[in-house]
Structure 1
Amino acid sequence: MNDASWGAPSRAGQWGAADRVPPFPAGPVGEAAVAAQTRPMPIVPDAGGDQDDRDQGATHLSGPLFRDESDRGEPDIRPQEPAAPQAPKAGKKSAGRDLRAAIGVGLGLGAVIVASLFIYKPVFLGVIVVAVVVGLWELTSRLAERKGIRAPLVPLAIGGAAMTVAGYVNGSEGAWVAMAFTALAVLVWRMTEPPDDYLKDVTAGIFAAFYVPFLATFVALMLAADDGAWRVLTFLILTVVSDTGAYAVGWRFGRHKLAPRISPGKTREGLVGAVLFAMAAGALCMRYLIDGGQWWHGLLLGLAVAVSATLGDLGESMIKRDLGIKDMGRLLPGHGGIMDRLDSLLPTAPVVWLLLVAFVGSG
């Protein structure tokens, strides 16, 4: 309000200066008193509260005009200087995950895997089965939550476990037979429910059976060889080294996106790092861990692992983008779910198995 409005003459139904000012004696003293009573109301800057606070009215009074009764001092109505915006703190690149938790969980899983692998092979086979069943549970749960696809978990879990064991005991023929029966079980199991979306559900179920347990069966095939523990260890080392090389080089030197629509964090420089790291590790593993292996075998093996691991990672990224999720699960702190760790391992398993058979035989 301006001064003129506050000092306007009184009208019917309105408040003016004459209505508010009590009578004072005439003369200079009275005029001074009237002037003091009719001076314009000071404009108080907004206290900065949110809209809800301002809408409270008299029930939530704040600011310099509404002090405690004990405060007899003159109210401070000077406008407050706005706080200067704080510049964002400069920091290092972030990996987007809790690295301490990721490293701790990774070391723990590595210890369990290596111990079971070299102590008693069937124990490691049990580790594979557990990973397969949990991975299937994560995948089917996300499909149901995000897409309404009801891939039957029970026949998938039972068939996936049977597939892995059959591959270890009877080789690739046993794995193929178990895969066929698993697909048949999915078709029959889904018949117990209404026919709506039958084709979509069974298609997703057969895909899940191939993607998780069937690819994992190639790890069991490697394990079944006489030097199976060393073959599996080579497979794990090369995959982990490939992922580590991609992360390290991409984080430090990455500038050019590899597949921005699928996985914006992956770079071409990271892929080069994965290839170099995996080839170096492959040469060492084939030379010192695999009987009959040659260093140049390891170069080819490392190259193939880097490519398959990257494609596997991108493949699961496509699935997660289609589902609108970041991780398949939350079982492993710093890693996500089991499927988030199997993404590069699963497609790499048949590649390593095939190349090892080509280089040094089935064992």
Structure 2
Amino acid sequence: MPIVPEPAPVPQKKTAGRDLGAAIGVGVGLGAVIVASLFVQKAVFVGVVAVAVVFGLWELTSRLKERKGINAPLVPLAVGGAAMVVAGYARGPEGAWVATALTALAVLVWRMTEPPDGYLKDVTAGVFAAFYVPFLATFVALMLTADDGDWRVLTFLVLTVVSDTGAYAVGWRFGRHKLAPRISPGKTREGLFGAIGFAMAAGALCMEFLIDGGTWWQGLLLGLAVAVSATLGDLGESMIKRDLGIKDMGTLLPGHGGIMDRLDSLLPTAPVVWLLLVVFVGQG
């Protein structure tokens, strides 16, 4: 009886792991809204940031409650978080710090209306959430206060998106060596190099053509810093999600997950970009 050879295995095609069409559509739509609000009226953009902060806090506190039984008080966080962003824009760093302190105090007091069991873990999580989401977001508002604030914010957004895109594109095509397998198995060292290369190139262009007084070499340094901070931010949220045992923080954005899944690299990058722009070209 003749031996029939087994068919060769069909090579598995790499996939993105998400609905790429939905992800692109939602990403383009969000980008259009953000850029339109940024250049139409600065105050409108501040409102967009505040809304994103409130939704991000809602997702984070909801997941903490569902997965860990931690009841971080949402009401003072949402009100205080929005106030922190507005205060940063209206009153500068001092206003942001005062609003942050008052938000932390409100979290402590609000939680006192409930039984004392779990008080420490609840308020600790609440203060963490206040610093992780709205406080970092206030640096976007601080960027916006400069005379060329809209271009500074656009540079911040472009570099972060380009860094994420470079990491994804290079990692998907050439990724072989895991960057942090215990935290985020999909991230590779090749992807990190892609993020750095793409962000440095974009940084040189943005600093040369968009920022008053900026030069290309400053853009190279800015791009490098953005690639590192964006990657660390992504890994940081991945660490939180692994601890919570979830894949995404929410489902509001088809193809992306939740609001926090889009803010993960933006939040820690905001203070880095704000500081470097102040060092390179001043407060504006």
| Map of 1:334 onto structure 2 | 255
Which amino acid in 1 is paired with 2:112? M
Listed one character per residue, the Cα deviations across residues 99-155 of structure 1 (whole Å, up to 9, x for unaligned) are 000000000000000100001111101100000000000000000000000000000
Which amino acid in 1 is paired with 2:202? A
Match runs of 1:227-306 below 5 Å: 227-306=148-227
Q: Which SS does the other structure have where 1:258 is aligned?
A: strand
Which amino acid in 2 is paired with 1:245? G
Among 182, 193, 197, the residue aligned to 2:118 = 197
| Map of 1:10 onto structure 2 | none
Which amino acid in 2 is paired with 1:161? A
Residue 143, structure 1, aligned to residue 64, structure 2? yes
| Map of 2:279 onto structure 1 | 358
| Map of 2:78 onto structure 1 | 157
| Map of 2:39 onto structure 1 | 118
> Quick one: distance in 1 between partners of 2:147 and 2:176?
45
Deviation for aligned residue 1:298: 0.1
Structure 1 pair 154–88 and aligned structure 2 pair: CA distance change class (3 A): farther
> Quick one: distance in 2 between partners of 1:255 and 1:195?
50
| Map of 1:316 onto structure 2 | 237
Deviation for aligned residue 1:90: 2.7
| Map of 2:144 onto structure 1 | 223
Q: Percent identity?
A: 86
Among 90, 93, 99, the residue aligned to 1:178 = 99
Among 9, 12, 21, the residue aligned to 1:100 = 21
Listed one character per residue, the Cα deviations across residues 156-181 of structure 1 (whole Å, up to 9, x for unaligned) are 00000110000000101100000000
> Quick one: distance in 2 between partners of 1:111 and 1:347?
23
> Quick one: distance in 2 between partners of 1:194 and 1:86?
66
Q: Which SS does the other structure have where 1:362 is aligned?
A: coil
Structure 1 pair 286–88 and aligned structure 2 pair: CA distance change class (3 A): same
Deviation for aligned residue 1:87: 7.1
Q: Which SS does the other structure have where 2:70 is aligned?
A: coil
> Quick one: distance in 2 between partners of 1:208 and 1:91?
41
> Quick one: distance in 2 between partners of 1:306 and 1:211?
19
| Structure 2: 5+ residue stretches without partners | none
> Quick one: distance in 1 between partners of 2:166 and 2:210?
21
Which amino acid in 2 is paired with 1:112? V
Listed one character per residue, the Cα deviations across residues 246-267 of structure 1 (whole Å, up to 9, x for unaligned) are 0011011100000000000000
Q: Which has the larger radius of gyration?
A: 1
Which amino acid in 1 is paired with 2:122? D
| Map of 1:74 onto structure 2 | none
Q: Which SS does the other structure have where 2:75 is aligned?
A: helix
Q: When you count helix as a share of all residues, which structure comes out higher? A: 2
> Quick one: distance in 2 between partners of 1:327 and 1:88?
33
Q: Which SS does the other structure have where 1:106 is aligned?
A: helix
| Structure 1: 5+ residue stretches without partners | 1-83
Listed one character per residue, the Cα deviations across residues 256-306 of structure 1 (whole Å, up to 9, x for unaligned) are 000000000000000000000000000000000001000000000000000
Which amino acid in 2 is paired with 1:310? T
Deviation for aligned residue 1:91: 3.6
The alignment's TM-score, normalised by the length of structure 2, stands at 0.97
> Quick one: distance in 2 between partners of 1:87 and 1:169?
66
Relative contact order, higher structure (CA 8 A, sep 6+): 2
| Map of 1:348 onto structure 2 | 269
Structure 1 pair 85–102 and aligned structure 2 pair: CA distance change class (3 A): farther
> Quick one: distance in 1 between partners of 2:128 and 2:252?
23
The alignment's TM-score, normalised by the length of structure 1, stands at 0.76
